[in-house]
Chain A
Amino acid sequence: MNKLTVSYSPHLHTNQSCAKIMWSVFASLLPAGIAAIFIFGAAALWVILLGVISALVTEGLLQYFNKKKITLSDGSAALTGLLLSYNLPANSPWWLVVIGSFFSVFIGKQIFGGLGQNIFNPALVGRVFLMTCWPKYMTNFMKPLDAGINFFKSFNYDAVTAATPLMMAKEGKAVIDISYWDLFLGKHGGCLGEVCILALLAGALFLLLKKYISWHIPIIYIATVGVFSWIFGSKGLFSGDFLFSILSGGLILGAFFMATDYVTSPLTRKGQAIFAAGCGILTVVIRLWGGYPEGVSYAILMMNAATPIIDRYTKNRIFGR
């Protein structure tokens, strides 16, 4: 008899794997990317591709030079790159995308020791870095194309730009002439991956059905934002337009795809609920009283920092205690 494997129990395993999870999340984000290409033209496609490729190259090179195992196939770097690109304007210059991806993977993830070790969502680390260094480029949002014009223009920084609905709201524009329907479909300025709510929800539904994410974080997050935006409306208490708050900005993208990041969110459902409510409150606070029109990225990053503490206080109650 040849050598028998002697390993510790259990000797069975689910067919779940890290790569399967990561690539499923990746796939679930694709509808939003396709929608972005329809809305902003080929420029969006180039930003997405460049984002993913530079994240992969960064991770590969870092692992190579640190003599670590190259783990590009686990999908986590690709996902980081994809998420970063979704958080950029479609008309970003190419170097902005590359720097963002590099920063996300290097500072956001590898510095901490790689997959599973990072405290902050890598894509958001990249985004906030870019926001700090190049605010001009990060807030210069391209106007959605009118049927095919400029479709093939890439890295089109000089495109006709438009303020995002949240920017308009922040500036105190009384009437924002955009319908909920247009918000839902994404026909307005904004980061390329966040605008089309319809496509994002399709992807989210897939993840929920496949049980890769649970409803706890996204639903509680969104509900908290809705409730607080309604309470602290611009025309007095309990007058806020909660539907507008939910549909505009990066909330849907953030709630379903970034706050749910396993590595940087709490382990237990109880912890996740606290985490999500915290994200919601911080988002509204930043949107209403902070210096930026949008608060999703900062809110999630702040709650990422709180995750170890939340974990400590929300551990499971041991059976029989």
Chain B
Amino acid sequence: MLRVEEHKSPQHNLSCEKFLNPQRLYLPLSQHTGRPSQACVKPQDIAECAQVIALEDGHISARLHAPKKIKIISIDDWYHPILKKAKCIIAEPIETEEHKFIPREKIGAIGKEALLQIIRDSGIVGMGGAAFPTHVKLRPPKKIETLIINGCECEPYLASDYRLMVEKLDEIFKGIEIICKIIEPREVIFVVEDNKTEARKKLHLAFSLKKYKLPNFSLEILKTAYPQGGEKQLIYSTKKSKVPSGGLPLDVGCIVHNVATCFAIYEAVYFDKPLIERLVTFAGDALVSPKNVWVKIGTPLNELFDKGVLQFKTEPKKIICGGPMMGIALDNLNYPVLKGTGGFLFLSKDYLLGEEGPCIRCGSCVRECPMSLMPTLIDLASRNENWEQALIYGSADCIECGICSYVCPTNRRLVQSIKQAKIKTLK
């Protein structure tokens, strides 16, 4: 793992704002790992705020809710950051006022199964990026020893998890309590990196006050490094155990949940509020000022500019959905915020300017790869379409963290060809 330039200021110190009144909403049916959900509304329908508009399809899937009171315009292909174009419920909010969610009563009395049901019904997915349906993750086939709460947010620029920890720590802890009730772990480890100054202070305070009922609760401050927020790396950093190749965290008795997911669970259980909003960091040097904003899921980027929430300082050269290491470059502003998007970046120059040169075998990629692969050799094999060779050097285990391309002095686009090999070898 490596220390990459953080670019976290000033986002880290900016209080969250809200933008909850977009004119259009674009809600892709596929916002999670697994099968896309199935729309259960049709054009011209009116849906109340928080009403289900698409149901899960099969086990690994998640439902979708109306972020406001909306009128469905159409169900059509629309821009999707990951899939480029995908089926999407396009809707128009018909009420500007915010829906009031009423606190649920007797939360302590709700049983395990009922809690799981609430989480499933709220359409919660992992909000750290992979967007795996949370209710599936909370019903592990094996006994979970360790619950790890991921507050690392190791991608440069992004600050939404950090702001959430600073501003909503109490709520996050209540979410963790619920997870504990469901999976009954032996211990809970809350992990943050040492660059999360203010969150650390608050966490230490919460820890010393022993306010929350968590089994064997401990706080772990890790040295900032990328990609420490990756599940396998995080488990290794905290527990020193390696998730077997091709395996899952639960193979070593661990489960990792992101802080934003914990917050979403809290809202679902305490207020019966489904996942319809999230905190997003908008940053990059092409903006007048970066911001952390609560937005409705489905809000397209251009609305934020039209409504003056964000302003360009200079013409952007590159727009990225996600962080700079793993994020996806976008070609226009029509893309909507998804459940798993922690940030959007607007850069005035392309930081990966250099032309690609030949590999000079400096070994940097080999030394820095967090999965201990041989990136340059996978790359070579992949370019020669020698997929077996690529597999030998580890293509199947690549987590696409981007470190190899990041360190390469001759600007080899390693991740790209490694991913190619990964796709070919998975089949």
Which A residues lie at the B interface, using CB under 8 A? Answer: 1-2, 4-14, 16-18, 20-21, 71, 74, 76, 114-117, 262-265, 267-269, 311, 315-321
Are B315 and A1 in touch, CB under 8 angstroms? Answer: yes
Are A262 and B363 in touch, CB under 8 angstroms? Answer: yes
- The answer on a CB contact under 8 Å between B413 and A8 is yes
Say what secondary structure dominates the interface of chain B. Answer: loop
B329 pairs with A7, CB closer than 8 A? yes
Residues of B near A5 (CB, < 8 A) are: 317-318, 329, 350
Q: Which residues of B contact A74 (CB under 8 A)?
A: 357
Contact B358 A11 (CB under 8 A): no
Chain B interface residue count, CB cutoff 8 Å, equals 68
| A-B pairs with beta carbons under 8 Å apart, 25 shown | A1-B315, A1-B332, A1-B333, A4-B332, A8-B329, A10-B326, A10-B415, A11-B318, A11-B329, A11-B345, A11-B347, A12-B351, A13-B352, A16-B407, A115-B360, A116-B358, A116-B359, A265-B361, A316-B366, A316-B372, A318-B371, A319-B242, A319-B397, A320-B243, A320-B245
Residues of B within 8 A of A311 (CB): 377
Contacts of B317 in A (CB 8 A): 4-5
Q: How far is the CA of A7 from the CA of B179 in the complex (A)?
A: 39
Q: Which residues of A contact B367 (CB under 8 A)?
A: 268-269
- Which chain A residues border B331 with CB–CB below 8 Å? 4, 6
| A263:B360 contact, CB within 8 angstroms | yes
Q: What's the Cα separation between A116 and B376 when bound, in Å? A: 12
In the complex, are the beta carbons of A13 and B376 less than 8 A apart?
A: no
Among B357, B403, B409, point to the contact of A20 (Cβ < 8 A).
Answer: B409
Is B327 in contact with chain A by the CB < 8 A criterion?
yes
- Docked complex: B367-405 residues within 8 A CB-CB of A: 367, 369-374, 376-377, 392-394, 397, 400, 402-403, 405
| A262–B324 CB distance below 8 A | no
B262 at the interface (CB under 8 A from A): no
Q: Cβ of A21 and Cβ of B409 under 8 Å apart?
A: yes
Question: With A6-B331, A8-B416, A10-B326 in contact, do A318 and B363 touch (Cβ < 8 Å)?
Answer: no
Question: For the complex, what is the distance from the CA of A177 to the CA of B127, rounded to whole Å?
Answer: 75
Please report B residues at the A interface, Cβ cutoff 8 Å: 4-5, 156, 232, 236, 242-247, 315-320, 324-333, 345, 347, 350-354, 357-364, 366-367, 369-374, 376-377, 392-394, 397, 400, 402-403, 405-407, 409-411, 413, 415-416
Residues of B within 8 A of A115 (CB): 357-358, 360
Q: Determine whether the beta carbon of B397 is less than 8 Å from that of A320.
A: yes
A319 touches B360 (CB 8 A): no
- B245 pairs with A4, CB closer than 8 A: no
Q: In the complex where A11-B351, A14-B406 touch, is A318 in contact with B373 (Cβ < 8 A)?
A: yes
- Bound form: Cα–Cα A7–B332 in Å: 13
A300 to chain B, nearest CB (A): 15
Sample of 20 further A-B pairs with CB below 8 A, known A8-B416, A267-B374: A5-B329, A6-B331, A9-B320, A9-B324, A9-B326, A10-B324, A10-B405, A10-B415, A11-B350, A12-B156, A13-B351, A13-B405, A13-B411, A14-B406, A14-B409, A18-B357, A21-B409, A114-B358, A116-B357, A317-B372
**Shortest distance from the beta carbon of B83 to any chain A beta carbon, whole Å:** 15
Known: A6-B329, A9-B325. A267 touches B415 (CB 8 A): no
A5-B317, A5-B318, A319-B371 known; A16-B324 Cβ under 8 A? no
Q: How far is the CB of A267 from chain B (nearest CB, A)?
A: 5
Residues of A within 8 A of B318 (CB): 4-5, 7, 11
